[in-house]
């Protein structure tokens, strides 16, 4: 019995030493690409007494601390950016009989953590089956049992997610800066990583359309329509799905329009209109495609549908009335312009009431009101042209006068007013309007000729044979600006006649 005593005493000394110096905790933290995370913060907090140990990973992602008191700890690991990487409850224990303290070792390798986000953008229709495999239901303790093939598969998936997240801000910046070649390049790289992400094809197709790569754009939109069926979130929301598909058909319609394939373009816009919950934009594009394709009746029907879907859009009235005018349906065009002007005036009135309320958050500018006024001016000008075509010069003059008073560049409106007044034999009014057109646009050659003609007309009305001096000067200016213009021969003849009479 005496021989056993020293061994017992020695064991007691060992236990006393362990309690005095505590345990060693160590570990390593790797990112989703399997690379060390430097300067990660590791915090151990004893759940019984709040004793705290703060550690930091080094260049190899490792951390080490000796002399940690035995006990149960809340362990939190955060990255250099402060984002949580890992949290758990750990028991810090003395070594076992073989001298190993396996529970005191933490190895966090994010590259072999099974992904929680959907793999559909990366794996497509097999994503759910892949993520449901039993071996992926891992815990921290059984990660060691992964096969080399399984480890490689997880690392590939995590690396793809990392690369996707790195490229996304770069592509967004290129799009924001309208650097279309760079944006297209970045999107193609993203598609190579996530070939089942339909939004990537939509964005790429839009960019390709912007840089007139119409065939490539059509292919991208078609691919988006193919892979959207694998997006569970979109598929389960019928309205969201219809809106997405409608936008893709719109993109294809615009690309076909760019190729001058108007039949195909109209077909895509028609599909978009059928799918969209707000089909106004699709119908107005369909109107344009049908008209340019020579289908006048279909164009008029589409334009009317656009206005019915959204009667507040002034552009729709302009497009419809423009088609009607080109078809020489001037009375219909005038009616459409009047409807548009009425809508615009109502909008201006409403906008003014908003701006009159000093407590309104919307009353911060008048840009929309200004745009509405310009569109009213544009419609009044176009309506004046329709009246002019019907030889209703008085009504035409009224519309041109109204347009000139609202338009930021009134030169052409004043010139058309000059022409309308001239046809009404109001030569003084015509000359005054032409003068205002010349002030607004000094290079408007025809204004000088009509001014001169009005001067000749006034001279005739007063029984004078010689034209006024400013009419002669206007003819010379016209010839200076357009020596081979449509009225050049007539201007020279008038100058020659004036020279004889003087």
The 3 state secondary structure assigned to 225-289 is: HHHHHHCHHHHCCHHHHHHHHHHHHHHHHHHHHHCCCHHHHHHHHHHHHHHCCCCHHHHHHHHHH
- What is the model's pTM? 0.76
Question: H or E element: which one contains 306?
Answer: helix 296-309
Does the pLDDT at position 115 exceed 90?
no
Contact yes or no for 384/396 (Cβ under 8 A): yes
Per-residue pLDDT tens digits for 23-48: 889 999 999 888 999 999 999 999 99
Give 24's strand partners: 66
Domains in the chain: ranges and CATH: 18-112 (2.60.40.10), 409-502 (1.25.40.10)
Q: pLDDT value at position 4?
A: 35
Q: pLDDT value at position 213?
A: 97
pLDDT, mean over the chain: 88
Per-residue pLDDT, averaged over 299-314, amounts to 96
157's tokens = 């998936």
140's tokens = 């921290």
312's tokens = 């507040």
Contact yes or no for 206/247 (Cβ under 8 A): no
Does the pLDDT at position 10 exceed 60?
no
Identify the band that residue 21 occupies on the pLDDT scale cut at 50, 70 and 90: low
**Alpha-carbon distance 79 to 75, whole Å?**
14
Does the pLDDT at position 363 exceed 90?
no
Q: How many residues are present in the chain? A: 502
Contact yes or no for 306/287 (Cβ under 8 A): yes
Q: pLDDT value at position 468?
A: 83
Contact yes or no for 326/300 (Cβ under 8 A): no
Determine how many CB atoms are found less than 10 A away from the CB of residue 29: 25
**Alpha-carbon distance 448 to 433, whole Å?**
11
Q: What percent of the chain has pLDDT over 70?
A: 88
Q: pLDDT value at position 113?
A: 83
Q: Give the range with max mean pLDDT: 18-32, 74-88, 92-106.
A: 74-88
Does the pLDDT at position 121 exceed 90?
yes
DSSP 408: S
Query: Which stretches of 110-246 are assigned E, i.e. beta strand?
Result: none
């Amino acid at each position: 019995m005496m021989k056993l005593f020293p061994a017992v005493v020695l064991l007691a000394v060992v236990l006393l030493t362990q309690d005095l110096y505590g345990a060693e905790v160590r570990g390593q933290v790797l990112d989703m690409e399997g690379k060390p995370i430097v300067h990660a913060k590791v915090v151990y907090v004893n759940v019984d007494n709040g004793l705290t140990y703060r550690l930091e990973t080094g260049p190899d992602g490792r951390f080490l601390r000796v002399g940690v008191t035995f006990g149960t700890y809340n362990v939190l690991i955060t990255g250099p950016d402060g984002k949580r990487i890992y949290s758990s409850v750990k028991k810090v224990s003395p070594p076992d009989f073989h001298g190993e303290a396996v529970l005191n070792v933490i190895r966090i390798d994010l590259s072999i953590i099974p992904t929680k986000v959907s793999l559909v953008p990366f794996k497509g229709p097999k994503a759910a089956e892949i993520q449901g495999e039993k071996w992926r239901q891992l815990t921290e303790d059984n990660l060691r049992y992964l096969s080399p093939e399984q480890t490689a598969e997880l690392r590939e998936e995590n690396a793809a997610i990392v690369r996707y997240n790195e490229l996304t801000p770069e592509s967004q910046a290129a799009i924001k800066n309208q650097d279309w070649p760079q944006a297209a390049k970045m999107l193609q790289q993203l598609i190579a990583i996530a070939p089942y992400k339909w939004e990537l094809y939509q964005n790429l197709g839009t960019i390709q359309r912007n840089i007139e790569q119409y065939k490539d754009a059509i292919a991208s939109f078609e691919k988006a329509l193919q892979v959207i069926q694998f997006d569970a979130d979109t598929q389960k929301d019928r309205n969201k799905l219809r809106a997405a598909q409608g936008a893709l058909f719109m993109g294809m319609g615009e690309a076909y329009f760019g190729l001058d394939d108007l039949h195909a373009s109209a077909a895509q816009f028609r599909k978009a209109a059928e799918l969209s919950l707000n089909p106004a934009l699709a119908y107005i594009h369909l109107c344009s495609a049908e008209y340019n394709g020579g289908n006048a009746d279909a164009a008029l029907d589409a334009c009317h549908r656009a206005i019915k879907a959204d009667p507040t859009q002034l552009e729709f009235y302009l497009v419809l009335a423009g088609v009607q005018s080109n078809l020489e349906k001037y009375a219909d065009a005038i009616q459409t312009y009047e409807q548009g002007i009425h809508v615009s005036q109502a909008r201006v009135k409403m906008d003014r009431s908003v701006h009159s309320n000093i407590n309104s958050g919307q009353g911060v500018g008048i840009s929309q009101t200004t745009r509405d006024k310009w569109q009213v001016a544009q419609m009044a000008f176009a309506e004046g042209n329709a009246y002019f075509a019907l030889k209703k010069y008085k009504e035409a003059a009224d519309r041109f006068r109204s347009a000139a008073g609202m338009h930021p560049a009134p030169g052409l409106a004043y010139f058309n007013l000059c022409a309308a007044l001239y046809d009404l034999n109001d030569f003084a009014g015509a000359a005054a309007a032409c003068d205002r057109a010349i002030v607004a646009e000094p290079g408007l050659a025809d204004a000088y000729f009509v001014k001169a003609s009005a001067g000749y007309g006034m001279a005739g009305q007063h029984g004078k044979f010689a034209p006024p001096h400013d009419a002669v000067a206007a003819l010379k200016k016209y010839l200076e600006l357009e020596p081979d213009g449509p009225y050049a021969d007539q201007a020279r003849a008038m100058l020659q006649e004036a020279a004889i009479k003087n």
